[in-house]
Structure 1
Amino acid sequence: MHRDLIDPGETTAVGPYEITTAVRTAFDLARWVPALREKVVAVDALAHACTIALEDVLRLRRRHSGARGAQHIVPVLRLADARAESPMETRIRMALHEHGVPAPRVQFEVEAGGRTRRFDLAYPSVRLAIEYDGRDHRGQERAHRDLLREAALVRLGWTILRFDAWTVYCHPARIAGTVAYELRRRGYVAA
């Protein structure tokens, strides 16, 4: 169990319970979660779900600069992105980061077939997209929609790389290698 000083304004009431605010919780997660990857996963998820501004977490870090683990806040916030819609998308992004692959755009939108489509991650300049396919993509109806969506995007010149949970958890280097290879093959130049 961690004990820490919590200033007034860093808690809120939920029913009969007093809990830390989302910003304070993000501050604590960025300090206490053991691995950088999982720190970023936690902060991304909280920032997305609670629509907190990451700048507010940084302000809290300045206010508590001497707090245990405060040195972890800035590296986490540099990698965090509140647009990430799932922890697995963040884990893919972190696998790329950990293996030196340039950062992709998060939740990139494309017009295709008269509709706005969105990729989990993308390198728009070379039309390379990355999608996490979770359990919800396995049902027949969803798989069919995914195929139609992908066909419309392929007609526009996009290549879509898909990764599942097993690959994300067990083979992050394979993800990074595949993406790096595709970027090199397309002549990608980081901005």
Structure 2
Amino acid sequence: MSRHATVPRELSFEPFSGSRAIAAGLITRRMLNGPHWRRILPDVYVHEGSYDPDDHRMWCVAAAARLPPGAAIHELSAAFLWGVDLLPLRGPRHAVVPVHVALPKTARPDPHPRIRYAYRTLTPDDITSLSGLPLTTEVRTAFDLGRSLPRADALGALDAFLHRRLVTRNNLAVYIDTRPGLRGLQQVRDLLALTEPLSESPMESRLRLLLHDAGLPKPTLQYEVRSASLSGKGRFIARVDLAYPQWRIAIEYEGDHHRERAAFRKDVYRFNALREAGWLALRFTADDVLRRKEQVAQKVRYAIAERAT
């Protein structure tokens, strides 16, 4: 069967409701039962050429094809659709990442391993449409993540929404005040005071929260280190993740991409340049931030004490 000759364009690339497509005269039941279509959810099909088991957006489209009125994609899946990918690792060797769906309390869906249902009270203003998919608004999505995720993950999510200018501190604060009594309200309110739109990754947010919880001074984010100059605008040396300019301390999170040869060479140059400019650069990995929090805080504390004397 020639795909271009026999497959309607509207059914070629994304999942769709089989019964609706048949009712619209776009396809027949016999065609759907053929080898060129894959049934991925009850009454939801996708063309074999568009099927990717690790494509979260494909599963969001599939889930949306079965949503009852008043339901919406929410939390991590809504964030993904808004361009904030906070999902766990995906792929053949990783666990299935389900689509997160918010349902009205009257809905009674059939359980499915690819969909994680939760009952939520959403107002009409909490739901919008993005490329035809019903999902929670930017502010509602940020609010839900800020109150439902573990604290460090929640701060990373809020920072990401602010960084991408999907929300502002002000409109999120206003929204929080309109939802009294909801679970997790105190967490999202407390974290909002710690958010930083300049934070560029969830691990940077975790590192900053680690320093805050240890009682260390608040660092400056994305600080540009420059050479001394009489004009006040010296030569650019480096931009560092976190900095204490008063003590010339730079704090960097080293992700896996720093292990690549080109990135490694660039890092060597940067850190030599920082040292020549009189800066101390502290570099931490994911293992440090996740599993050696006390040691990280202690190293920063010692560096401050040494440089402040």
TM-score, normalising length: structure 1: 0.89
**Runs of 4+ with >4 A deviation:** none
One-letter identity of the residue aligned with 2:271: E
2:134 is equivalent to residue 18 of structure 1: yes
Alignment partners' CA distance in 2, 1:94 and 1:80: 10
Give the structure with the larger helix fraction: 1
2:283 is equivalent to residue 167 of structure 1: no
Q: Specify the alignment match of 2:122 in structure 1.
A: 6
One-letter identity of the residue aligned with 2:183: R
2:152 is equivalent to residue 37 of structure 1: yes
2:155 is equivalent to residue 155 of structure 1: no
2:168 is equivalent to residue 47 of structure 1: no
Of the three residues 153, 175, 181, the one matched with 1:60 is 175
Alignment partners' CA distance in 2, 1:115 and 1:129: 15
Q: Specify the alignment match of 2:240 in structure 1.
A: 119
TM-superposed CA distance for 1:102, in Å, is: 1.6
TM-superposed CA distance for 1:38, in Å, is: 2.1
Q: Specify the alignment match of 1:70 in structure 2.
A: 185
Deviation track 1:5-58 (CA, whole Å, cap 9, x = no partner) reads 33333332112211112221111111111x322221221122223442122111
Structure 1: state its 5+ residue gaps.
Answer: none
Q: Specify the alignment match of 2:74 in structure 1.
A: none
TM-superposed CA distance for 1:114, in Å, is: 3.4
Count of paired positions: 187
One-letter identity of the residue aligned with 2:255: G
Query: Are the aligned partners of 2:237 and 2:273 in contact in 1 as well (CA < 8 Å)?
Result: no
TM-superposed CA distance for 1:103, in Å, is: 1.6
Alignment partners' CA distance in 2, 1:76 and 1:91: 12
One-letter identity of the residue aligned with 2:215: G
- The higher radius of gyration belongs to 2
Alignment partners' CA distance in 2, 1:132 and 1:154: 17
One-letter identity of the residue aligned with 1:158: W
TM-superposed CA distance for 1:61, in Å, is: 0.6
Q: Specify the alignment match of 2:231 in structure 1.
A: none
TM-superposed CA distance for 1:111, in Å, is: 2.5
Overall identity of the aligned pairs, in %: 36
Alignment partners' CA distance in 2, 1:80 and 1:185: 29
Structure 2: state its 5+ residue gaps.
Answer: 1-116, 228-233
2:207 is equivalent to residue 92 of structure 1: yes
Deviation track 1:89-143 (CA, whole Å, cap 9, x = no partner) reads 1111111112211221111122258336311101010000100111111111111
Q: Specify the alignment match of 2:298 in structure 1.
A: 177
TM-superposed CA distance for 1:84, in Å, is: 0.5
One-letter identity of the residue aligned with 1:20: T
TM-score, normalising length: structure 2: 0.57
Alignment partners' CA distance in 2, 1:161 and 1:123: 11
Query: Are the aligned partners of 1:104 and 1:123 in contact in 2 as well (CA < 8 Å)?
Result: yes
Alignment partners' CA distance in 2, 1:49 and 1:116: 26
